[in-house]
Structure 1
Amino acid sequence: MRQKESPMLSALLYTLVAISLFLTVRILSTPSTIGLSQNSTTSVSANLTNTKKIEDVFAPIRMIVHTDKRIYLTQTPEIMKSVNELLSENLLDGIEDVSTYTQEEFDALILTPTQLEIRFAEGVPLELLSRYFTNLQEDYYDDTIDRIILNSKEEDPVYLLNDETKQVFTVARPDNVLQPLVDLYEGQKDAYMEVESYESESAISYLPKEAITIQKLVYLVEKPSNSYFIDLLFKDTTDLKDNGNDEFVSYSDNISELSIHKETGQLSYYRNILDAEELPDYRLIRDSFHEIKMLDNWTNPFYFYGFDEGTDNVYYRRYVNGYPIFGEVDYGLTRIHMSGSSMTELQFLTQVIQTPLTNRREDVTLLSGTDLLAALDAGGYSSQEIQMIALGYDWTFSEESNRLVNLTPKWFIQIDGSWKSLDQWIGGTETEADDSGL
């Protein structure tokens, strides 16, 4: 007797056949990525991507509150995010006036009591801060500012300062712009530390009045697969040459070359560009951001860190908990060389911190500002030689595994354009427990 076929069984069989055919077509139509796979021993995450926003990268990094007698500073990321948002909401009109101050006038303006000071890591072109304005005049697009000052007199303008040129731009103050910023101090005073001003080579800066304790951090690190960077940096991967060796993953075509250090994940890229058009600085900087915004997958704050007019190099730096990352090898720095609107060179670390190992944290106490300057002076470095001082993290890979990174808080000092830790400059130690007696 012939068995009657079940309609449900037939439908199931047809569905399975359709799925099988679909998967076969997908497999045959997908290009092979053999040879472009991850060669590093660090962990890999296929979804480790983070597209950056221009308003987060060209943003202030600290706020300083000048009271009638004392000065307080914060660089807490959550507070600075609110500062950035408030400046974007309370829009300024166009530039009303610009003056060049003497050094004494410039310093006096910065240190005026009862005012707020908002600082950027480096001078930012005004065009890249145009979100703060209703109508920024094009004549000022290429001018840069390092800080914004709002004093307690509501009738006074907003001051935009350039530390290098001593130019001061003035803008009419919007209504009710000061109080929301003051509230960020009044409501979270424990996020601010008392600081004292000091005069560096170019401008007034601030150091903590007392010794400061910050935790050393340990993280697991990850990086996207090498094919992720290959796909973004090469338009056509069919004719790539594999130049890799025991130390580097390396690929090239007729006009460009990519190498990634297998152990550290440091990426270097070069592209040959001919006959690039001349562009204003702000355009070079903006275009460099569009080159890096998808390549670097750092999920913590990432800020513009300067532009070299002589070389057309644009710099960005990684931050953690409001502090910049440095190192004997400067793993926190991203360098992009622009030729016109195109990137010709790129260097940055592909590895990113993902998972904190909280049980490995430990407190590190660093010198106060006074003791730090005394240590530098004893080592032969006067404040007039110092370009900048930053409290930051020293990135080092753990000896027990290249999947672990140590972030150790240290004082870093820039002299003659070079960033080094205090112990590198003077050969000592940075903690209060130093035998030097500081």
Structure 2
Amino acid sequence: MSKMGENILKVGVICMVLLSLFLSWKIWTKPANRSFQDRTAKVKAVVQKKDMTEVYMPTKLFYHHGNGDHFLYSNKESTMTSLHEKIVSLEFGTTRTMTTGQVESLTMQRDLFNLVYPSAIPASLFINMNNLSITLPRDSKNLMFNWLIMSLDDGKLYFVNYKNKLGVEVEVKGNISSITSILDAENNNYVNALLPTDNVAGIYYLADSAKLKTYSYIIATQSFTTFSRGFFNQPNDLFSNEGENLSLSNSEGESLTIDSQTGEVNYFGKLKQSHSGNENSLYYDTFQYVEDMGTSLGNLRYFSDTSNEVVYRNYVEGFPVFGDNMKGCLATTVQNKNVFIKANQDTLQIPLPSDDSVTLVPTQELVDHLKDQGADMSKIIDIQIGYKWEQNKETQQAIDLVPSWYIKYDNNWMTQEELEKTLAKGGQT
């Protein structure tokens, strides 16, 4: 080899070494969180955002048709969605505040249906998010309602808070017959229900036993990037702290931790967007995180709220899911323009065939049994059917959703069995 060739080879080797050193330096000095940024960007591209009207939806339908005291009950989602779409397409007229007597008599009328929300929401929120031309009476502008009743007889819509015996009547015009055809469809899977005058917690009672299927699901564990992308204001340039549990933070003061044992996710940061000037700011402030998570956490629906927190839950076959360590749930708390979010990495993914079922007693029988067990009826805030998230006994990759009566007792949600154990210990929750 000539002298010139050897020099060229040496220069080439030196250049290769220098390039290698430069690339190594870039790798070692580049923050480890850069991989968070790249993966976050890829995830973000496929997220399908939810609309507010998809999340703040009724979860029960009661239809009072014909004679007798029985109502027809269904929790079929497609039926309620169709009824909701018909209602918001109507033409609205004058409104007036209802008296206590009018609210009580309304529920006994024939030819009406009631779309029930899991918890009360502002009537103004319903009107705004559906872009309706309804002006609430001055003395009912802050009405919280959970029953949306429509009379097929006199063509009126009612926002009702049955527990507080408050309501607003709205005159409507439109194609009422098309609504009746939805209600009378054969595939609505109605069961009988009652509204006793001495009912507990202002709820409808199931008149008969209910046989419900147990569902099994393969679960998916969501990547931390799903949560960093959905929650962080600044999802780029995140720093991780070594330890048993994953911990992410950035220079803006945002932080996220994921428990390695339970999968529980906890986030703290500043609100992405503050709606402080809006009368329903809590709902808009919290919903933006549900919106940004898209379908990552399953079929999330509005479930309940307090003065500064809104809870969203997974719904399966029309019933809410309850699990330990925030499984099937997302809770968002807003305080001084800061936000605290709790969720879980594990989400329902693929349903598995199951022939198992559970038979739940009628509501009146449940209430009588709890009374016999020593329950304080004044502490029962709500009763509804829910699915309990349980680990599948055959595989760690699957869970079972077991139907159960859930009772909100002394402000805590418990299954019938859990409440009975609590009562046996003296009623301390």
Q: Normalising by the residue count of structure 1, what TM-score does the alignment of the two structures yield? A: 0.77
Corresponding letter in the other structure for 1:221? I
Q: Please point out which of 259, 262, 279 is paired with 1:261.
A: 259
What SS class does the counterpart of residue 294 from structure 1 fall into? helix
Q: Distance in 2 between matches of 1:58 and 1:382?
A: 31
Structure 1 residues 225 and 299: CA distance shift in structure 2, 3 A: closer
Paired position in structure 2 for 1:153:
153
Paired position in structure 1 for 2:96:
97
Structure 1 residues 277 and 133: CA distance shift in structure 2, 3 A: closer
Structure 1 residues 269 and 133: CA distance shift in structure 2, 3 A: closer
How far the C-alpha of 1:344 sits from its partner, in A, is 1.2
How far the C-alpha of 1:420 sits from its partner, in A, is 0.3
Q: Distance in 2 between matches of 1:371 and 1:328?
A: 28
Corresponding letter in the other structure for 1:421? T
Aligned ranges 1:184-203 → 2 under 5 Å: 184-188=182-186, 191-198=189-196, 199-200=198-199, 202-203=201-202
Paired position in structure 2 for 1:284:
282
Superimposed CA distance per residue, residues 21-76 of structure 1 (whole angstroms, 9 cap, x where no aligned partner): xxx9xx99x99657759xxxxxxx99984421111111211210113212111111
Paired position in structure 2 for 1:313:
309
Q: Please point out which of 165, 178, 181 is paired with 2:179.
A: 181
Paired position in structure 2 for 1:9:
none
Paired position in structure 2 for 1:114:
111
| Unpaired stretches in structure 2, ≥5 consecutive residues | 1-22, 38-42, 423-429
Paired position in structure 1 for 2:351:
356
Structure 1 residues 315 and 232: CA distance shift in structure 2, 3 A: closer
Counterpart contact for 1:61–1:322, Cα < 8 Å: yes
Paired position in structure 1 for 2:360:
366
Paired position in structure 1 for 2:134:
136
Counterpart contact for 1:251–1:258, Cα < 8 Å: yes
Superimposed CA distance per residue, residues 173-219 of structure 1 (whole angstroms, 9 cap, x where no aligned partner): 22323x3332223212651111122445542x122222111111110
Counterpart contact for 1:87–1:132, Cα < 8 Å: no
Q: Distance in 1 between matches of 2:218 and 2:111?
A: 44
Counterpart contact for 1:52–1:293, Cα < 8 Å: yes
Superimposed CA distance per residue, residues 57-116 of structure 1 (whole angstroms, 9 cap, x where no aligned partner): 1121121011321211111111112122112222434x51113415xx533322333321
How far the C-alpha of 1:330 sits from its partner, in A, is 4.9
Q: Distance in 1 between matches of 2:175 and 2:96?
A: 22
What SS class does the counterpart of residue 381 from structure 1 fall into? coil
Q: Does 2:246 match 1:249?
A: yes
What SS class does the counterpart of residue 79 from structure 1 fall into? helix
How far the C-alpha of 1:314 sits from its partner, in A, is 1.5
Structure 1 residues 328 and 353: CA distance shift in structure 2, 3 A: closer
Aligned ranges 1:379-398 → 2 under 5 Å: 379-398=373-392
Structure 1 residues 348 and 142: CA distance shift in structure 2, 3 A: farther
Q: Does 2:50 match 1:52?
A: yes
Q: Distance in 2 between matches of 1:314 and 1:281?
A: 15
Q: Distance in 1 between matches of 2:131 and 2:33?
A: 47
What SS class does the counterpart of residue 389 from structure 2 fall into? strand
What SS class does the counterpart of residue 153 from structure 1 fall into? coil
Corresponding letter in the other structure for 1:163? Y
Corresponding letter in the other structure for 1:197? L
What SS class does the counterpart of residue 405 from structure 2 fall into? strand
What SS class does the counterpart of residue 375 from structure 2 fall into? coil
Q: Please point out which of 395, 405, 408 is paired with 2:399.
A: 405
Superimposed CA distance per residue, residues 112-162 of structure 1 (whole angstroms, 9 cap, x where no aligned partner): 3332112111112223322556423376664322112222423x5322112
How far the C-alpha of 1:280 sits from its partner, in A, is 4.8
Q: Distance in 1 between matches of 2:64 and 2:178?
A: 16
Moved more, 74-83 or 134-143: 134-143
Q: Distance in 2 between matches of 1:294 and 1:239?
A: 19
How far the C-alpha of 1:389 sits from its partner, in A, is 0.8
Counterpart contact for 1:123–1:162, Cα < 8 Å: yes
Structure 1 residues 231 and 133: CA distance shift in structure 2, 3 A: closer
User: How many equivalent residue pairs?
Assistant: 382
Structure 1 residues 49 and 200: CA distance shift in structure 2, 3 A: farther
Q: Please point out which of 113, 121, 124 is paired with 1:124.
A: 121
Corresponding letter in the other structure for 2:400? N
Structure 1 residues 277 and 33: CA distance shift in structure 2, 3 A: closer
Q: Distance in 2 between matches of 1:376 and 1:223?
A: 38
Structure 1 residues 133 and 166: CA distance shift in structure 2, 3 A: farther
Counterpart contact for 2:298–2:314, Cα < 8 Å: yes
Q: Normalising by the residue count of structure 2, what TM-score does the alignment of the two structures yield? A: 0.79
Q: Distance in 2 between matches of 1:185 and 1:100?
A: 28
Structure 1 residues 400 and 388: CA distance shift in structure 2, 3 A: same
Counterpart contact for 1:48–1:297, Cα < 8 Å: no
Q: Distance in 2 between matches of 1:194 and 1:352?
A: 33
Q: Distance in 2 between matches of 1:206 and 1:50?
A: 36
Corresponding letter in the other structure for 2:71? I
Q: Please point out which of 286, 290, 293 is paired with 2:291.
A: 293
Structure 1 residues 378 and 126: CA distance shift in structure 2, 3 A: same
Paired position in structure 1 for 2:319:
323
Q: Distance in 2 between matches of 1:424 and 1:406?
A: 18
Q: Does 2:215 match 1:217?
A: yes
Counterpart contact for 1:115–1:150, Cα < 8 Å: yes
Corresponding letter in the other structure for 1:333? C
